[in-house]
Structure 1
Amino acid sequence: MATTLKDVARHARVSVKTVSNVVNDHPHVSDDLRRRVRAAVQELGYRPNLAARTLRTGRTGLLALIVADVETPGLCGLAREVVRAAAGQGFRVVVDHLGPDTERPAPPTRAGAPPGVDAVLLGADVVPPGLVDARLGAGTPLVLLGESRDPRCDQVALDGAGAAADATDHLLRTGRRRIAAVGARPAEADGPPAPRTAGYRRALRRAGLDLPAGYLRTTAQHRYEDGYRAARWLFAHEQRPDAILCYSDRLAIGALRAAADAGLRVPADVAVMGIGDSEEGRYSRPMLTSVSADPAFLAREAVALVTARLDRPDAAPARITVPHAVLPRESTRPAG
């Protein structure tokens, strides 16, 4: 039997009207009552009647989480936190993906998909041309989950420059000095650096180190094979690096395999580090050092931006930075 507003009200020890106000995100509800009701909603698994809500408010109560690739490590954790945060606000979540080739222009069916949602959470660091324009043109609120320079959208993202700088500093503290990076976007070869590359270079400059030619490897995507190929190229370099910072855990796992195939020991011969703190990295051998962001924080703030944008569509775009931390593990033990 479905949970009702009365059930939630009884569980939270509040009135049905208060539950309705919280579920529909009405103002003038105290923070304490709002927390109690949201906790009861999550515990009881309450789901609002979407048809009734649509007739009453013009909203469907649906959010779309669109990601670049459903195979991206960490996606399950992010989706779980988004669903949890959305349920606390009375929303349900549908998941869609752009497909493996995120550099191509988004076709109309993707630019407008999925239909009938109140807002879109775009969890892609590489945003296809035309997608943002299409969503904004349709008047659908859009929150970017990832690093982007588009000033028109709300955004919740890791501090890419800070994360890469902290990762590079960690490698420097382990005694490494020939630190390469894998995962820069192809456009960075002839243009300005993206945040992660900027942070990597900044940390090297602070340490008084130059960036040898070829040490910054671009990849079209962040697949295992991209990390593998880039690392194999670096291992054949006349000045072989003693550490590789990969811009994602998936690239780093590819680099671990490349090291094994090249007869190199990790971390004795080369340290390998990723960004993303994926489950795969926690179970790799050696266990992968990585930079972790807080997916629960990201999800809560993204859903909060959605509700704020629905209430105030003309407000200035907001940018929220997700805290991060370096998690030292076996793949970057000190040299020596």
Structure 2
Amino acid sequence: MAEHAGVSAKTVSNVLHNHPYVSATTRETVEASIAALGYRANLSARALASKQTGFIALAIPGLDNPYYSELASHVMDAAAEHDWIVLIEQTRSSEAMEKAVVRGPASQLVDGIILQPDAIGDADLTDRFAHQNLVLIGEAAATASADHVTADSTAAAREVVEHLLEQGRTRIATVGIRPSNRANAGELRYRGYYQALERAGLGVRTEYLAPAERTRRPDGAAAADHLMSLPEPPDAIVCFNDLLASGVLARLRERGVAVPDDVAIAGFDDNEESRFTAPPLTSVAWDLEALGRRCVELLRARTGRTDGDHPPVRTVVGHRLVVRESTAGRG
């Protein structure tokens, strides 16, 4: 191919790997030769030569949640800069599927894995798989012995409740945010909720902690029915995510409950839908671009390293509270 294009083999390689330091004219010449010769990259040969597969895995609960689909997009963008293709595994938060991701034979077919471990424990992650290139995301991974990229859910929840308290709300309920014996997202957000109420001199009312079997709109609607049927309904509801909050908003509208006049609503994730609900939803926005990029950076840093053991790295990405009409009103 280099001979056909009249350039060096290195220049052809630079074009194939989309390196920026190639002139437009040279790139066009090489691409014309590629087309003329019908060249297709031999990925198997490339993997043998580099001892890398060219693939990484992203194992997440499911793409039907806008949070994970947006995260996947950012991971794919960052991975493309390193010529990696991202394979997506939907675990559905299943212990068996999460174990298969990190300990099954398929783990040897990728250069690294980005995993949200919702069901498996630290012991499974410590004895994970041979090549050691594992990055964990989410709150439940806080004690695992692997690189970990997360956000501060406790601080974020505390900020949401403090905002509601500033709006004069005192009967603040939750949906899907409850205490747990596992340091998962629900537990960590509950800690922030508890801290803010404690500082305000308000205790947690257990009847205001509405469970959610899943974190989808129908579960939010069912929780709204439960909370609004209480003898003293809440004047604010903090939902585990925006999908639950969307369900709560829809059900309150059906019941003739004014938001935010009667009840203020807030969520987490700030997905696109949140800007277009009626009314627009106050939500915590995570820096998913930074989260995805950092995961890929950590995998790249460990790929191919043979210079001894390196302790795991923990990274906390930023967040911000986006205040909209569902808590602050039109003013």
Place the TM-score, normalised by the shorter chain, in its bin. Answer: 0.7 to 0.9
What TM-score does the superposition give when structure 2 sets the normalisation length?
A: 0.80
Greater gyration radius: 2
Question: How far, CA to CA, are the matches of 1:225 and 1:128 in structure 2?
Answer: 27
Question: How far, CA to CA, are the matches of 2:200 and 2:43 in structure 1?
Answer: 57
Report the counterpart of residue 324 of structure 2 in structure 1.
329
Report the counterpart of residue 164 of structure 2 in structure 1.
171
How many corresponding residue pairs? 300
| RMSD of aligned Cα (Å) | 3.2
State whether structure 2 residue 295 is matched by structure 1 residue 302.
yes
Aligned match for 1:127, one of 96, 119, 124: 119
Report the counterpart of residue 206 of structure 1 in structure 2.
199
Report the counterpart of residue 27 of structure 2 in structure 1.
none
Give 1:269 deviation, angstroms: 0.8
Report the counterpart of residue 6 of structure 1 in structure 2.
14
Give 1:308 deviation, angstroms: 2.1
Question: How far, CA to CA, are the matches of 2:287 and 2:259 in structure 1?
Answer: 27
What TM-score does the superposition give when structure 1 sets the normalisation length?
A: 0.79
Q: Is the 8 A contact 1:156 1:298 kept in 2?
A: yes
Secondary structure of the equivalent of 1:292? strand
Bigger drift between 106-115 and 264-273 goes to: 106-115
Question: How far, CA to CA, are the matches of 1:135 and 1:97 in structure 2?
Answer: 22
Which residue type is aligned with residue 315 of structure 2?
A: I
Q: Is the 8 A contact 2:139 2:151 kept in 1?
A: yes
Q: 1:86 to 1:131 in 2, by over 3 A?
A: farther
Q: 1:107 to 1:282 in 2, by over 3 A?
A: closer
Aligned match for 1:74, one of 41, 52, 67: 67
Q: How does 1:73-92 map to 2 (within 5 A)?
A: 73-92=66-85
Give 1:204 deviation, angstroms: 0.9
Q: Deviations over 1:308-333 (max 9, x none)?
A: 23236731111111100000111112
Which residue type is aligned with residue 230 of structure 1?
A: A
Q: How does 1:12-91 map to 2 (within 5 A)?
A: 12-13=20-21, 50-91=43-84
Give 1:153 deviation, angstroms: 2.0
Q: Is the 8 A contact 2:236 2:263 kept in 1?
A: yes
Question: How far, CA to CA, are the matches of 1:174 and 1:164 in structure 2?
Answer: 16
Q: Is the 8 A contact 1:222 1:251 kept in 2?
A: yes
- Between the aligned residues of both structures, percent identity stands at 37
Give 1:185 deviation, angstroms: 5.5
Question: How far, CA to CA, are the matches of 1:225 and 1:139 in structure 2?
Answer: 41
Give 1:306 deviation, angstroms: 0.9
Give 1:253 deviation, angstroms: 0.9
Q: Deviations over 1:227-282 (max 9, x none)?
A: 22222211111221110111111111111122123221111110111100111212
Q: Is the 8 A contact 2:107 2:129 kept in 1?
A: no
Question: How far, CA to CA, are the matches of 2:151 and 2:58 in structure 1?
Answer: 18
Question: How far, CA to CA, are the matches of 2:187 and 2:89 in structure 1?
Answer: 26
State whether structure 2 residue 269 is matched by structure 1 residue 276.
yes
Question: How far, CA to CA, are the matches of 1:207 and 1:54 in structure 2?
Answer: 59
Which residue type is aligned with residue 183 of structure 1?
A: G
Question: How far, CA to CA, are the matches of 1:276 and 1:298 in structure 2?
Answer: 13
Q: 1:178 to 1:52 in 2, by over 3 A?
A: same
Report the counterpart of residue 314 of structure 1 in structure 2.
309
What stretches of structure 2 of length at least 5 have no aligned partner? Answer: 2-10, 24-39
Question: How far, CA to CA, are the matches of 1:127 and 1:194 in structure 2?
Answer: 14
Question: How far, CA to CA, are the matches of 2:41 and 2:259 in structure 1?
Answer: 52
State whether structure 2 residue 177 is matched by structure 1 residue 184.
yes
Report the counterpart of residue 29 of structure 2 in structure 1.
none
Which residue type is aligned with residue 12 of structure 1?
A: P
Aligned match for 1:144, one of 136, 140, 155: 136
What stretches of structure 1 of length at least 5 have no aligned partner? Answer: 16-46
Give 1:176 deviation, angstroms: 1.1
Question: How far, CA to CA, are the matches of 1:49 and 1:282 in structure 2?
Answer: 45
Question: How far, CA to CA, are the matches of 1:107 and 1:326 in structure 2?
Answer: 31
